[in-house]
Structure 1
Amino acid sequence: MSRPAKATINLSALRHNLSFARSLAGNKVIGVIKADAYGHGAIPIAQVLQEEQIDCLAVACIEEAIVLREAGIKTPLLLLEGFYGSDELPLMEYYNLSAVIQQKEQIEILQKWSGKPFDIWLKLDTGMHRIGFLPEEYKPAYTQLRNCPNVNRIILMTHFACADESENDYTQQQIDIFRQTTKNFTEETCLCNSAGVMHWPQAHGDWIRPGLMMLGSSPFNGPHEHDHQLQPVMELTSQIFAIRKLNAGVPISYGATYVTDRPTTVGVVAMGYADGYPRHAPSGGPVLVNGQRTRVLGRISMDMMTVDLNPIPEAKIGDTVTLWGKGLPATEVAHHAGTISYELFCNLKRVPIQYVGRSNAKSEKP
């Protein structure tokens, strides 16, 4: 019998979430699957999205795009960070890729290109202040690209800094800046990440870029009206492999940071920070044992963690423990650990991944 920790990826839930995103916006969809589809496995996720005739897939860099092309993905692919140098352009041509253009050096490289024209996504910095052209730089950059024979189609895009904060008017300010800057342009537009899709319908534009919501996790820290529509794609589970009965006043795990305040039955679970569960998660974080809620006790170890079995006296060795998934949103676990579900998913490692649900995809991440 092997170690019981595993992640189950429900591809039916993926299809459902894509359908829900489409129902909110009714626009063309870019499925963001960078960083190995946030730890879900880029190839199997891309295969399903391709089956669902998604309009485009987005990755961070050309290395991620090549992996997908070599696996047979034919859906249009967008490089969200664009290209880093002229040596990437022949690869972009060979693999039929498009790129975000976010600085003048990229335009200069494109102007010297002698191959086929590329589709370009021209990024406007409306307030993220990370990458992109400032509003006063945007029209000159657009004009250069429009006059460049190496550019085919241009799509106008930006990225929101605070869209996951539903009461923050900064997103509306960014929307207004985008509209003002691009008001005389006729090209298609792309503004919304997952939070934008779910909460800022006035910004849906022609394209949307769902990533996290497509994987069934809410981008909002608190409750949101659409949370119940999302189905978690990843479920991380393990089992209890030891049970201890401890008296009151007994410390548990490294650093003795938790001390029992009453006689306590403790379950030891095969899951730790080497699997991707956050070491900094404090005592009291939620877990499910056989579908019933209980809490983490003490520090997370490399390979194991301890949970409170007092609320579940019938629990026994071999019982299933859900770390996140159905009945326990990753967003909630992340909130208790002082992080975000993006990080939980991306940090997943060592545990085997099993793909279930309706799919023609045959790949499985080892």
Structure 2
Amino acid sequence: MMKRLLLLFLGCVGYFTSQAQIAQVNPAAAPVEDSAALAKAADLALLADKLYKAGLEAISQKEYRTAVIDLDSAIALQPTFEQAFMGRAAAYLELKEVQRAIDDYSKVVALNEKNAQAYFSRGRAKYQLQDKAGAAADYQLSLAADLNFYQALYHRGGLHFENGDYKAAVEDYSGVIKINARNGYAYHDRGTAKRLLNDQEGALADYRKAIEVNPDIAIAYVSLGNYKLGKKDYMGAIEEFSRAIERKKDYSLAYNNRGRAKFETGDYSGALADFTKAVQLNPQSAFAFNNRAAAKYKLQDYRGALEDCNSAVQLNPEYGYAYFNRGNAKEMLRDASACQDWEKAVTLKVPAAQAYLLFCPEK
């Protein structure tokens, strides 16, 4: 019995000795090597994060080229650093290097096909390059990645609007409102789409709702003002345009449209002041120049009216009413070329000019 126990014990000793030898050979070297690799990876990740944050800081300081350099380095250290690609794309957009931004967003979605923001941002970049079909496809991919990513829905609605599909635009804007009921711009834009679908009351309700959820949304006051202008409620329109200007001091369109309302009330001096402000804020607005010409004409400043019509025609050679008004100013200045302007206005679909041609000599 004793001999048997001794043999069993010796067998156990052999087993434990064997296991001890294995423990000394196998795990001893590997953990040391793995720990060193992990430590190195952690250091690289920390450095990449510092470079990423430096890149974001450079963007905030509008030092976009510096940002690209920092983010390049972060990506070199961490080739799968999604947010670094996103940041670099943002810097490229500021540098007007739009295709490079698109390439970076593409790298992000290759790394993470669920990144709704990347699809959306790539769509906006494609839109800048006039690739509206590509933009629409990316907005759809963004929504596929996240059904509640209402920014993509809003911009898709904008594309429908631009394409004249106002019904689809209304549907998308309604989808935005369902997700974010405080989005004033979605209410406003849905209202404008409804107006173009001849749903005037629906449009008016949406404009008012836009202001209710966001009292500082200047464009909604302009749209309300335009509605009242169409109803010949000129004083009401002036009030709405003034509210828009209170909220956005450099709003050229609000000044222009308030000038139109004042013009209709016979306040030509007030209209002239507003049109002048509109021209100062937007020197590329042919409409503001033409409107100011009309106010100057009413105030018997025919030379000034002629100059403004010249500016309007130069900005937009197909602007029929600018030719019509220039013809009127020329007539008062006894310039025989007035007839040529009225003829041009007729060819550009200004019906009123036809009557003026009756006073022109036959060729």
What TM-score comes out, normalization by structure 1 length? 0.27
Comparing both structures, which one devotes a greater share of its residues to helix? Answer: 2
Larger Rg over CA atoms? 2
Greater RCO, CA 8 A, separation 6+: 1
Q: TM-score, normalised by structure 2?
A: 0.27
Higher strand fraction: Structure 1 or Structure 2? Answer: 1
